[in-house]
A = this chain, B = another copy of it.
């Protein structure tokens, strides 16, 4: 397999972009990545998106974005793996270039979620779960995560406040990120007093949705000269049962563990070598489970890393360094690309006030559904 380098990144602000359509937002990010790469076209376009059919009445999304961004007749597809659609699109683009079939690929993650009422977005998000055996029972996506969090607190003896550091760190880091949805600090007191959504998940455990797009331009590594090279050192995808009730262990992200082990092996490293980790903090419980499954913490002990101050940009395991899903925002199908873009910013030394010192190896993990589709990447600079 040919080694792949990332030579361009782009992103839009995450917000309620009522005045801009899905094609415009996607093209904004695509054109920014093209410009950053110094290219005008790409042989292939891979669009990560979950709900354009449902929310925007628009399938054929690959062609739509290729058309609007002015990519001349590039082959284009949409790749969907629920909330992991972004990383899934990146991995598809990666394999396409690695195969030698394409010499360049543009990967765009896009979600435009504010063309519907709040109720409908909740229904659209729930399509990440099992339609027949979970949704039919009336559970929402936050409801499923709440069931996991409640059981986790019961099994391991944590109280709700113990999850606060995940949200506080994310909000603090987002202050430095001009593309982030939320720009306000929060305190432990704020965290404890936030409005309840689905017990025990309250508003500050949960990430905000939004409209946004992020993009990356990739080429075979031998085509890169004269700049810091950001290489893809590992890429792996794994699945678990789609319904949580079918898992032998509801509190362990098996697919996160499997995909992390694979990328560690591909990169020839372990969790201690990771300088920055952009994880999928859609809910605070997911931060804990992701840290545990990827070997940064013992099972049931994920919250300890936050309580001990290890998750900040200068800590042992910096996470959500640009705000994470929690404060940068979670435009679902775009999130996986935002994570990768942010890792690239860290490895290039372009992360401003939340720059992780001497960051050379970064990991991003994107989770689809309640752990059913998990895709992990390791990037490194050289």
Q: Is A132 an interface residue (CB 8 A)?
A: yes
Asked, given contacts A21-B132, A59-B82, A237-B75, whether A101 binds B92 with beta carbons under 8 Å apart, the answer is: no
Complex Cα gap A73–B62 (Å): 27
A242 proximity list for chain B (CB < 8 A): 60, 63-64, 67
Question: Assuming the A-B contacts A127-B53, A375-B75, are A82 and B95 also in contact, with contact meaning beta carbons closer than 8 angstroms in the complex?
Answer: no
A1 and B375 within 8 A (CB): no
A249–chain B nearest beta-carbon distance, Å = 14
A51, CB-defined interface residue at 8 Å = yes
Q: Can you list, as one digit per residue, whether each of A77-119 has a CB less than 8 Å from chain B (1) or not (0)? A: 1111110000010011011101111100000000000000000
Interface size bracket, A side: 35 or more
User: Is A326 positioned at the interface, with any CB of B under 8 Å from its CB?
Assistant: no
Given A73-B239, A373-B76, A375-B75, verify A99-B92 contact (CB < 8 Å).
no
Majority secondary structure of chain A interface residues (helix, strand, loop or mixed): mixed
Known contacts A95-B96, A95-B101, A98-B100: A369-B77 contact under CB 8 Å = no
Smallest Cβ-Cβ distance to A98: which chain B residue:
B99
Contact call B54/A53, Cβ cutoff below 8 A? yes
A56: CB under 8 A from chain B? yes
Inside 8 A of A236's CB, which chain B residues have their CB?
75
User: What is the distance, in angstroms, from A328's C-beta to the closest C-beta of chain B?
Assistant: 22
Cβ contact within 8 Å between A372 and B60: yes
- Of A44, A94, A239, A368, most B-chain CB atoms within 10 Å: A239
**Chain B proximity of A219: nearest CB distance (Å):** 14
A1-30 at interface with B (beta carbon < 8 Å): 1-2, 21, 23
In whole angstroms, how far apart are the Cα atoms of A246 and B63 in the complex? 13
**With contact pairs A63-B373, A131-B57 given, residues A80 and B81 touching in the complex (Cβ less than 8 Å):** no
Considering the chains assembled together, what is the distance between the CA atoms of A88 and B67 in angstroms?
17
Contact assessment for B60 and A373 in the assembled complex, using a CB-CB cutoff below 8 Å? yes
Check B101–A60 contact: CB distance below 8 A.
no
In Å, the complex CA distance between A76 and B239 comes to: 7
B59 touches A128 (CB 8 A): yes
Instruction: Judge whether A66 is part of the interface by a CB distance below 8 angstroms.
Output: yes
CB nearest neighbor in B for A75? B237
User: Per a CB cutoff under 8 Å, which of B58, B74, B82, B101 touches A235?
Assistant: B101
Residues of B within 8 A of A50 (CB): 53, 59
Which of B59, B82, B91 contacts A60, CB < 8 Å? B82
A255 interface contact, C-beta 8 A: yes
**Chain B residue with Cβ nearest A375:** B75
The answer to whether B127 touches A59 (Cβ under 8 A) is: yes
A21 contact set on B, CB distance < 8 A: 132
| Chain B min CB distance to A184 (Å) | 31
Query: Is residue A267 contacting chain B, with contact meaning CB distance below 8 A?
Result: no
A104 CB, min distance to chain B CBs, angstroms = 14
- The CA-CA distance from A127 to B78 in the complex, in Å, is 13
A-B contact pairs, 6 of them (CB 8 A): A58-B131, A67-B239, A75-B236, A77-B79, A77-B92, A95-B95
On A, residues with C-beta under 8 Å from B are 1-2, 21, 23, 44-45, 50-51, 53-54, 56-64, 66-67, 71, 73-82, 88, 91-92, 94-96, 98-102, 123-124, 126-132, 135, 235-243, 246, 254-255, 258-259, 368-369, 372-373, 375
